[in-house]
Amino acid sequence: IANAVFLAWLLAFPRFPILMFGPYVAWHLLNIDLPAIWHTFYWIIVAFNVIQLACRIALLSPSVRRYYHLLESVLHLFGIGILVFLLSARDYIGQATFGGGPMSSETVATINTNIHRGLLVVLIIAVGKFLWDTAQWLRPQKSASQAPARV
C-alpha cells in the first residue's frame, strides 16, 4: 500500500509542487533552477516504483513467493544503480532564489557539494544493506534438529 501511495504522490507533485517544496513555492519565495538530470531522475524513479509495485503484487502469488530473495536483490541492485546515476552529476541545483533574493554562487556550490555527500552516504548504506541481506539469504539455515540442546 505504501508503494502505491508513494507512486501517487510522485506522479502528483509535478502538477502540485507544493507537495514537494511546501508553501514556499505557493508564496513564490523559493525558485530553484533544476538541471536536466532531475527530469531524467524523476522518470527513472517513477519507473522504479512501478516495477517495485508490480513485484510486490506478484509476490502475493505462492508460485512467485519462492523467488522473494531474488526479486528483492534485483530491486536493491536497481536502486543502487539509480543512486550511482545520480552521483554522476555534480550540479544538483542551478541558480536559486530564496525569499526574493538570489543565492550566492558559493551557497549554491555548498548546497551541491552537500547533496553529493549525502547521496554518497546513502549509497554506502544501501550497498552495506544489500551485502548484509545477501549474506543472510545465502547463509545456511540451521534446522530444528541442528539446534543446540539445552542443558
Q: 20 by DSSP, 3-state: which?
A: helix
Task: Calculate the dihedral angle through the C-alpha atoms of 132, 87, 6, 28, rounding to the nearest 10 degrees.
Answer: 150
- Cα 46 from Cα 59, distance rounded (Å): 20
Q: Compute CA 59 distance to the chain's CA centroid, rounded to the nearest angstrom.
A: 21
**H or E, element range at 31:** strand 30-32
User: What's the pLDDT at 81?
Assistant: 95
Q: Count the neighbouring beta carbons within 10 Å of the beta carbon of residue 86.
A: 20
**pLDDT bucket at 10, cuts 50 / 70 / 90:** confident
**Could you tell me the pTM of the whole model?**
0.74
Residue 80 burial (10 A CB sphere; 0-12, 13-18, 19+)? middle
Q: Is the pLDDT reported for residue 127 higher than 70?
A: yes
pLDDT above 90 covers what percent of the chain?
Answer: 36
**pLDDT mean over 128-146:** 82
Query: Higher-confidence residue: 36 or 26?
Result: 36
| R_g of the chain computed on alpha carbons | 21
